[in-house]
Amino acid sequence: MIKEIDGGVCAAKGFKANGVHCGIRKSRSKRDLALLYSEKVAAAAAVYTTNLVKGAPLIVTKEHISDGKAQAVICNSGNANTCNANGIEIAEQMSQLLADELGISYKDVVVASTGVIGEPLDISPIQSGIPELSKGLGDHSDLAAEAIMTTDTRKKEIAYEFDIGGVKCRIGGIAKGSGMICPNMATMLVFVTTDALIGPELLQKALSNDVKTSFNMVSVDGDTSTNDMVTVLANGMAGNAEIKDESEEFEAFKNALHAVTTYLCRMIAKDGEGATKLLECKVVKSRTEIDARVVAKSVINSSLFKAAMFGADANWGRVLCAIGYSGADVDIGLIDVSFSSAAGSIEVCRQGSGIGFSEELAKKILSEDEIQILISLNDGTHSATAWGCDLTYDYVKINGDYRT
């Protein structure tokens, strides 16, 4: 039984958070430095962007958690610390300054940055902001979620309670992500905390498998960021017996983790830059799970289809087109397509061909802010879901003057 609760990344026992404005971003109304802290050293796992251009914080974090442990996360917004000659040095300084303030090892610090690529990051505002950041630690998941935002229009956080062997455990997460989202390993910045007791190897296995059907299935614009990272910290303070193998308890943990990740996936997709609609594409009756994933992601990635959804145009031909070039092994002559939303449902394609339908009803259905695209391949038993958003005029406006 998984139950939604309040608290975000502070819902789990032993975790505190904070977010402040330190001066990286010009506007004092925008927080730009976040901190997550565990009272105990936690098991740590992460997945990273597959972009060959990687932010310095990812390189440093990967080294720091190579022992499977971490106790704190520091993240700045407004500057990605990517493609900078001294990027590694700055990321290490961030870790050391925070470690000195908290009295922990710098090797137990996860460091992350997000924002403009290729601009030098000055350590001075971070150094001056860390004491305030540490002093204000508390149940402030919302402040941390705010501090990692860039072009995001809303904070993204969630928490759940679940049972492991009769013991109540909690898991929560925050995320940032609005543009430059089409990952192949992770997406944007996501930080998950849990008080469940699980070793780093199983934690990594759970996360690596989870992203295949969660963050790897999100697309806003087809671009893969240089700083994408998902990190999970598990401090064991719930008091459950340690999860040591792929048991029933491990399945319970994976289910709770997936509840967090898929919720954040939907929030990221819905908050896509300039977006007015969340698109959820579900592919069913596929020959293989891989084919289902490929088809769902191809449709969500299609700029033409995304533009049609912005205009509430039931142009189902763009769905078939995206399936046709996806590379999936499908029989186009078997495919059915329908659109649905809170306003109803309508079938628009049967066995690969158009059928008569009410354009008026279709327009009404596609004018809602959450749209479902159901694709039946009618060739098997597997399924997959992908999340995306419509493509609007504002996407170009936002990215046309991003640096200003």
Among 93, 91, 90, 89, residue whose Cα is nearest residue 101: 93
**50 three-state secondary structure:** coil
Cβ burial 10-22 (10 Å sphere, 16+ → b, else e): bbbbbbbbbbbbb
Half-sphere exposure of 294 (CA within 13 A, CB side): 15
Side chain identity, residue 154 = R
End-to-end CA distance of the chain: 47
For 343, list phi and psi in degrees, rounded to 5.
Answer: -90, -5
Half-sphere exposure of 243 (CA within 13 A, CB side): 31
Q: Report d(CA 299, CA 321) in Å as an integer.
A: 9
Please give the full DSSP string across 165-176, using - where no structure is assigned: TTEEEEEEEEEE
Residue 162 and residue 2 in contact, taking contact as beta carbons nearer than 8 Å: yes
Residues with active-site annotation:
187
DSSP H helices, 166-288, are 200-213, 248-270
**Per-residue tokens: 303:** 């700029």
Handedness of CA 209, 267, 74, 193 (dihedral sign): negative
Q: Report d(CA 257, CA 225) in Å as an integer.
A: 23
